[in-house]
Amino acid sequence: MFKSRWHYLIAALVTFFLLIAALGVLAAVLIYPNLPSLDSLTDYRPKVPMRVYTADNSLIAEFGEERRAVVSLSNIPHFVPQAILAAEDERFYQHGGVDTLGILRAALSNVMSGGAKEGASTITMQVARNFFLTREKTFARKLNEALLSIKIEHALSKDQILTLYINQIYLGQRAYGFGAASYAYFGKPLQKVTIAEAAMLAGLPKAPSRYNPVVNFERARQRQLYVLNRMHVLKYIDDAQYEQAKNQHLVIRSGPLSTKNVSADYVAEMVRQAMYDRYQDAIYTSGMKVYTTIRKRDQDAADQALWQGVMDYDQRHGYRGVEGTVQIPEDNQNIETTLDDALQNSVVIHNLQPAVVLEASPKLVRAYSKDSGMITITGAGLKFAQRALTGGLPSKLDIRRGALIRVEKDAKTNAWRIVQIPTVEAAFISIDPKTGAILSLVGGFDYNLNKFNHVTQAWRQPGSSFKPFIYSAALEKGFTAATLVDDAPLTIPAAQAGGVEWSPKDYEDTYSGIVSVRQALTKSLNLPTIRILQAIGPNYARDYTKRFGFDPARQPPYLTLALGAGSVTPLQMARGYTAFANGGRLATPYLITRVVDQQGRILSQTVPEKPHQVIDPRNAFIMTSLMQSVVRRGTAARAMQLGRTDLAGKTGTTNDQVDAWFSGYQPSVVGVAWIGFDQPRTLGRGETGAQAALPIWMKYMGTVLRDVPQTGYAVPSGIVTATINPLTGLPVANGETGYNEYFYQETVPVLTTAPAIPEAVPATPEPPQPDTPQPDSSPVF
């Protein structure tokens, strides 16, 4: 048997050399001149995905059929190409494209082993195949591959060929090239991999699906050890490096390939849609870079604020029960494999990990998480789900062995606790009122759960957060901050209420009697606002709101408009509030600043639309003063915890607490927070704008304004103050006490009796401090 095998080998070698000689002549005469042009190699343009960046160059997302992170030999560790050569072509720098010695060695190995187990493709041959040929196993393809390899070697240097290989080869997980694969498997750039990680990556080209460490880590591990051994034999690494690399614990990413370092999925999708409308499928392959107005710190703050606000709301409303059940085998020997399979389709949402319960009692829960292994939950960690541990829920929702739950590790105590995925949704957007640049945008709790962008697509009733636009219209109709209005019950005929007789109430169903306009907005009183709208006319008010960018067709021409019964999006609300924050000038929101090609050439650049004056600067100033009162001592007084005097805004709550809002600003930023259910239903008793939405806004503002000095609002020309008697809403007479209030110069109220109006004095940025007036005979609306 052994003798016949040697005879076979000798005959094969003789035949091989004769065939090579014949083919060499044939190739030189017929095939070689007709080989494809190497333009795609000499002018290498890989299919690079479109990348989306923040204004400060943090990566938001990338979109493309082939995920790449193009690298050069000069900026990666030397052991990366060494690992590749050890695994694929150790004689790369010695052969001319076809490794004759390698072919002989492979042939000998295959004969000795009794089968075709070892190939002889060089790196150059793999480049030829990847760029020009199919993977079919035919003699014609192999011949073309060999001849192309020789042609490539004559046209390019060895380093150029190796660079092409490193950036082009497919390595599984949708990753093309070692740069992308490093992110896919280890979540880091290729420049930061270790020798052990480089060896794992170098083992992939042989069979990316077979040696994929996400799919089969043990098989990939054996391939890695082979590569490390070859590196050691070839003296690329010394004994100490070899031992250290063999023993390094590798952490493999199991999620989708991503290089992003800021969470802004809704922003990314907005950009993708806009770019596709303009450039079509080219965005997925041409390596465009899109720079947005988003700032990383703002986006991170907004994302964290919204997440915390939603989780806090969810905690207030109790545990709903387990997500499902898993059949746990009695045999504990393979239990982790079974549980891993059961958790395969349950993804981590933010840091809410899915886990399977192994043991449950009112005092202790043991569970298995794919990401964290066995965990134990006790004490405060059980409090939220106590009802499900003591039979307080339907049995199918109880926590018992086999239950699928969500767990979270407390960042402060490092202890585990039971949580759940919230069902409520939320949105947050912030805008620079001076330019219209969108600084942050979070369209929902989690993009993977719900891709509906609530910032731009959710048409909801704004409730009382719409009142400032009504009050602004009233100022233009002659109302002042000191005008007295009646807060008393009233019934609105059907014709004025949209078809049904209406008896509106204040939130707490109590009445304050006669109040000033300032007090009415500060306390968010409904009945005075309706009377104000009655006085100026719903049609006038509806048309007036067009100045702020609202669609009149979505605002009812009835008195219900006073309480925000129309429809708006959070983006529209943020834009509308820019007029108050920016001296009456309305900003036009924009998201993309510029688009550049792969070489950095500008393809398009946004010229921001200059904010235009839509209301009197005096109107904006007085409205800001009124909304500062809302923050300082009104429905949003909780915001004073931020310790700033330059905040202004308005809460909003719709009927039955279906929608909760807070819209507010500081001179440099406008922010709008909304929370509600996609299928409108009550958020629950007490879930007002101040309770549910304001904390989101506060957490964001507290972060982004931390190092921003407090700023006053410039007093425009034509604003004066007068000392007002809180009982009459008129200037004080001799001997009376009062408070200072802001007015248009021409709308300072006039006494109808002998005392003269005190001389008006220039206003100061400090808003007035009104007292509670009592009813009298002065005009009341």
Q: Residues of the chain with pLDDT > 70: what percent?
A: 85
Angstrom distance (rounded) from CA 611 to CA 587:
4
- Tell me what the mean pLDDT of segment 385-400 comes to: 93
Q: How many CB atoms lie within 10 A of CB 77?
A: 15
From 106-115, 702-711, 747-756, the region with the lowest mean pLDDT: 106-115
Residue 31 has pLDDT above 60, yes or no: no
Among the four given CATH numbers 3.40.50.620, 1.25.40.10, 3.10.20.90, 3.40.710.10, the one describing domain 427-704: 3.40.710.10
> At the topology level of CATH, where does 73-247 sit?
Penicillin binding protein transpeptidase fold (1.10.3810)
Measured in degrees and rounded to the nearest 5, phi and psi for residue 680 equal -50, 125
Residue 275 has pLDDT above 50, yes or no: yes
pLDDT digits (tens, 9 = 90+) for 179-210: 989 988 988 899 999 999 999 999 999 888 88
**Model pTM?**
0.80
Catalytic residue selected from 88, 90, 153, 425:
88
Please say if the pLDDT value at position 768 is more than 60. Answer: no
The helix (H) or strand (E) run that includes residue 401 is none
Residue type, position 116, single letter? A
Q: Using the CB atoms, write b or e for 641-662: b if 16+ within 10 Å.
A: ebebebbbbbbbbbeebbbbbb
Place of tokens 């490093």: 182
Q: How far is CA 122 from CA 89, 150, 187, 225, 335, in A?
A: 6, 11, 29, 21, 44
Tens of pLDDT, residues 581-630: 999 999 999 999 999 998 889 999 999 999 999 999 999 999 999 999 99
pLDDT tens, position by position, 308-355? 999 999 999 999 999 999 888 777 667 777 888 888 788 888 889 999
Question: Catalytic one among 121, 263, 464, 472?
Answer: 464
CA–CA separation, 638 and 641 (whole Å): 6
Domain ranges of the chain: 73-247, 320-419, 427-704
| pLDDT reported for residue 105 | 60
CB 332 within 8 A of CB 294: no
pLDDT band at 370 (very low <50, low <70, confident <90, very high): confident
Under the banding of pLDDT at 50, 70 and 90, the label for residue 756 is: very low
* Architecture of domain 320-419 in this structure: Beta Barrel (2.40)
- DSSP conformation class of 205: T
Of 120 and 406, the structure prediction assigns the larger pLDDT to 406
CA distance 593 to 341: 45
- Cβ count near 542 (within 10 Å): 23
Reported as a single tens digit per residue, the pLDDT across 446-496 is 998 999 999 999 999 999 999 999 999 999 999 999 999 999 999 888 888
Question: Mean pLDDT, to the nearest integer, of 174-181?
Answer: 88
Is residue 746 annotated as part of the catalytic site, yes or no?
no
Inform me whether the pLDDT recorded for 32 exceeds 60: no
- Supply the angle between the helices 526-536 and 467-476 in degrees, to the nearest 10: 40
Would residue 144 be called left, alpha or beta, if left means φ above 0 and alpha means ψ between -120 and 50 degrees? alpha
- Say whether 74 is catalytic: no
Span 523-564, pLDDT tens digits = 999 999 999 999 999 999 999 999 999 999 999 999 999 999
Cα gap 183→198, rounded to integer Å: 12
Is the pLDDT assigned to residue 45 strictly greater than 80? no
Q: How far apart are CA 408 and CA 417, in angstroms?
A: 5
Is the pLDDT at 253 greater than 90, yes or no?
A: no
Cβ-contact 721, 762 below 8 angstroms: yes
CA angle, residues 222, 228, 229, in degrees to nearest 5: 90
Q: Residue 10 pLDDT more than 80?
A: no
Length of the chain: 781
Please say if the pLDDT value at position 33 is more than 70. Answer: no
Identify the residue with better confidence: 111 or 365: 365
Tell me if residue 502 falls in helix, strand or coil.
strand
Mean pLDDT of the chain: 87
